Amino acid sequence: MKRGKLIVVSAPSGCGKGTILGQVMKDGRYYYSVSATTRRPREGEQDGVHYRFLERAEFERLVAEGAFLEHAEFCGNCYGTLTAPIESHLAQGQHVILEIEVQGAMQIRSQRPDAVFVFIAPPSLETLRERLTNRGTETAEVIAERVAQAERELALMPQYDYCVVNDVLEDAVADFRAIVRAEELKTEQR
């Protein structure tokens, strides 16, 4: 059986990456890696579905045990990818999607030459600010911090293999699917 692809996706907060990935993953060939985080759950988020919500002490224990493929601190909270489930899904031929921020992605870049790196960008920083405001889940202070963070993240886009601009959702979904298809067709996969 052909191994799945490890697909690392980063996007500034509010770029609509969740919506794009939700559409892409409808076809069932994908496994979405559920990260661990010390952030508090947002309204509607479920433990084990959106994240594994952990206390900081437990997160640090897992770091010490070497349980994470990568981990990083983002806006005051810790986030990490647990290694164990990833390998088994790749071996089963599923594409594994890691939706992680740029520091974590760069850790994987140095460890996993087999991974594909996709950056999802907003059409502009102004659009991003509007989307975050309309989402209504964060305070004005947090929004300002996340827009500043987005600007820093955008500077790292050239480190990724592909960039998908999320202007029109259907186009962004089609672009993402095209990237995965191209990766599946690479000669080294045969």
- Of 75 and 91, CB closest to ligand 5GP: 75
Among the listed ranges 53-61, 71-79, 85-93, 171-179, the one in contact with ligand 5GP (CB under 6 A) is 71-79
Return the residue of 4, 8, 31, 70 that touches ligand 5GP, per CB under 6 A: 70
3-state secondary structure of 180: helix
Return the residue of 4, 35, 132, 147 that touches ligand 5GP, per CB under 6 A: 35
Residue with tokens 């790292």: 156
Quick check: 72 binds ligand 5GP (CB under 6 A)?
Answer: yes
Quick check: 94 binds ligand 5GP (CB under 6 A)?
Answer: no
- Of 44 and 189, CB closest to ligand 5GP: 44
Residues 11-30 that bind ligand 5GP (CB under 6 A): 13
Distance between CA atoms of 64 and 125, rounded to whole angstroms? Answer: 37
72 CB-near residues (< 8 Å, 6+ apart): 78, 79, 80, 100, 101, 103, 104, 107
Return the residue of 5, 59, 97, 99 that touches ligand 5GP, per CB under 6 A: 99
The CA angle 155-20-82, to the nearest 5 degrees, is 75
Residues 147-186 that bind ligand 5GP (CB under 6 A): none
Return the residue of 15, 20, 30, 81 that touches ligand 5GP, per CB under 6 A: 81
* Closest residue to ligand 5GP, based on beta-carbon distance: 104
**E-strand stretches of the chain:** 6-10, 30-32, 36-37, 52-53, 68-74, 77-82, 95-99, 116-121, 162-165
**In Å, how far are 69, 72, 102 from 155, measured between CA atoms?**
24, 18, 10
Quick check: 8 binds ligand 5GP (CB under 6 A)?
Answer: no
Residues within the interface to ligand 5GP (CB under 6 A): 13, 35, 39, 70, 72, 74, 79-81, 99-101, 103-104
